[in-house]
Amino acid sequence: MANPFTVRDQNTVSSRFVDAMRVNDESALRTLYENNFKKVETMILKNNGTSEQAKDIFQEAFIAVWKNVHNNKFSPGNEKAINGYLYTIAKNKWMDYLRSPAYKKRVSFHTVSETNPARSVVENDNLVTERETRLALAMKAFENLGEACRTLLVKFYFEKKTMKEIAEELQLDAASTRNKKYRCMQALRGLAQEMNT
Amino acid sequence: MKKQNQTQEEFERIERYLDGLMDREERAVFENSLKTDKELNLRVEEVSLLRLAVEEQTLRNKLDDFHAEMLLNRPAKTIRPYIKYAVAASVALLIGFAIWLLAGQKSTEEKLFAQYFKPAPGLVTPMSTASDYEFYRGMVDYKQGKYSEAINRWEPLVKEKPENDTLNFYLGLSWLAKGEAGKAIDFLSKAVTIQNSAFIDEAWYYLGMAQLKEGRPEEAVRSFGKSNLENSRVIAGEISGTK
């Protein structure tokens, strides 16, 4: 797929970008990442942060933008709008962290905390919804899933390939591929439920 | 959520609902049962959450990869100008010392190896290889020079796919970069037997390098002879010249 950022026409940038985000087009996501990290890092380094913390905050902001595009909560008008949005979210997350008890405690005791600042804010403000907790557990479950299932599910849900494409790649017929998908999802479900209890 | 089994039929029905693939009639029936069946609501919610978990976790892993690759390509700007000269001077000294060491103590083969060996650049990691999750993660390690980590990720994969040219090639290179020429030869001699490999010239070249390092120059010349790379001709010439 063509990189959406190289398109000159402003009208097509927006829809192309949104499409790229929806189908998780890797080169578009990478460009967005590389074009925006530096500015966020500079802001955080100037405000008592480290490069490692800049990475955490930036990635949480990136995920937030990605989710909002997926849920139609944010439809960027152009590339500038996305970059500005990403920066603003990162900045707010960092300011929240600086005001958070986790940061204040860290400063007063001079301890070096290895916690992810982006997440500790959320935890401390008690903003974590039950769904978010379950999502975090399900993501951990996914990391613990067997290699074959992980690869298969990535093809379906991240790469958004069709049943036909995946069946061809695996050299299986459609029925076996569907059954594999079902069994992998049940395995993931089982792992997630175990972690939840 | 209860630990009850879900049938394939129900799972697929829920997916059709979430993806908007139901026809109007099926959808009406399904939405009707959603109104009355609280458990079904939870199960729809669960499938939707699990699908998001797969997608989001994959993205998170990719962001880490983007980050690692971005840092690799980023010039070290933090070094102040005068430090830069100091560093350059000490690097030059070190290189000089290394050459003196190598020249003084190593065999001709080792000298040639040290002169020419440079690990091949890693693969760009496009969508097609990204599906091979472990392979892709290993490639990020490889590009960062973490050869042992790359080997740990790839060795289980090559057991599953012993005929994969890419895996054999990069495993061989990782061992060679670690200085274990014997192990490198095992994988590279496998890599050169694989038909239609895109790495064939490189594989012969690095096999030659590994053999050179092992002090087997005759075999090395033979391997270099099978590679169409310019460097292969140059080194083969140098080996023959020293004999």
If one compares B113 and B219, the residue with the highest pLDDT of the two is: B219
- With CB atoms and an 8 Å threshold, state whether B5 touches A63: no
Residues of A in Cβ contact (< 8 Å) with B64: 59
Residue located via tokens 């054999």 = B168
pLDDT tens string B146-169: 888 888 888 888 888 888 888 888
If one compares B206 and A5, the residue with the highest pLDDT of the two is: B206
Residue A6 scores a pLDDT above 70 = no
Tell me the two tokens of residue B15.
Answer: 């997916």
Tell me the two tokens of residue B140.
Answer: 């990020």
- With CB atoms and an 8 Å threshold, state whether A26 touches B62: yes
CATH code given to domain A129-197:
1.10.10.10
Contact A89, A49 (CB under 8 A): no
Tell me the pLDDT band of B79, cut-offs 50, 70 and 90: very low
Nearest CA distance, A26 vs chain B (angstrom): 7
The Cα–Cα gap between B121 and A110 comes to 42
Residues of A in Cβ contact (< 8 Å) with B167: none
Predicted local distance difference test score (pLDDT) of residue A15: 64
Tell me the two tokens of residue B208.
Answer: 């030659």
For A63, the closest of B11, B51, B56 (CB atoms) is B56
pLDDT tens string A105-149: 665 544 444 455 555 444 444 456 888 899 999 999 999 999 999
Mean pLDDT over each residue of chain B, to the nearest integer: 81
Residue A11 scores a pLDDT above 60 = no
Nearest partner of B54 among A157, A187, A87, A82, judged by Cα? A157
Domain ranges of chain B: 8-71, 75-105, 107-242
Tell me the two tokens of residue B233.
Answer: 């001709």
B41 touches chain A (CB under 8 A): no
Predicted local distance difference test score (pLDDT) of residue B95: 75
- With CB atoms and an 8 Å threshold, state whether A139 touches B12: no
Nearest partner of A50 among B63, A58, A32, A61, judged by Cα? A58
pLDDT tens string B88-117: 667 777 776 666 666 655 577 777 777 777
Nearest CA distance, B137 vs chain A (angstrom): 13
Mean pLDDT over each residue of chain A, to the nearest integer: 83
Average pLDDT score over residue span A156-161: 96
Nearest CA distance, A124 vs chain B (angstrom): 22
ipTM: 0.83
Neighbouring CB atoms inside 10 A of B37's CB total 12
If one compares A11 and B30, the residue with the highest pLDDT of the two is: B30
Predicted local distance difference test score (pLDDT) of residue B240: 77
Average pLDDT score over residue span A153-174: 95
The Cα–Cα gap between A21 and B10 comes to 29
Nearest CA distance, B51 vs chain A (angstrom): 6
- With CB atoms and an 8 Å threshold, state whether A159 touches B134: no
- With CB atoms and an 8 Å threshold, state whether B54 touches A188: yes
Residue B243 scores a pLDDT above 70 = no
Tell me the two tokens of residue B14.
Answer: 């829920």
Predicted local distance difference test score (pLDDT) of residue A66: 93
If one compares B241 and B206, the residue with the highest pLDDT of the two is: B206
pLDDT tens string A52-63: 999 999 999 999
Helix axes B200-213, B181-191, angle to 10 degrees: 150
Nearest CA distance, A106 vs chain B (angstrom): 26
Predicted local distance difference test score (pLDDT) of residue A60: 96
- With CB atoms and an 8 Å threshold, state whether A188 touches B6: no
The Cα–Cα gap between B57 and A109 comes to 33
Sign of CA dihedral A149, A152, A155, A156: negative
Residues of B in Cβ contact (< 8 Å) with A52: none
Predicted local distance difference test score (pLDDT) of residue A106: 62
Percent of chain B whose pLDDT exceeds 90: 26
B107-242: which CATH architecture? Answer: Alpha Horseshoe (1.25)
B78 touches chain A (CB under 8 A): no
State which of A5-19, A150-164, B111-125, B173-187 shows the largest mean pLDDT.
A150-164
> Which of A129, A154, A193, A194 best probes binding to B when mutated, by most B CB atoms within 10 angstroms?
A154
Helix (H) / strand (E) element for B207: namely helix B200-213
Residue located via tokens 């933008």 = A65
> Which of B41, B63, B70 best probes binding to A when mutated, by most A CB atoms within 10 angstroms?
B63
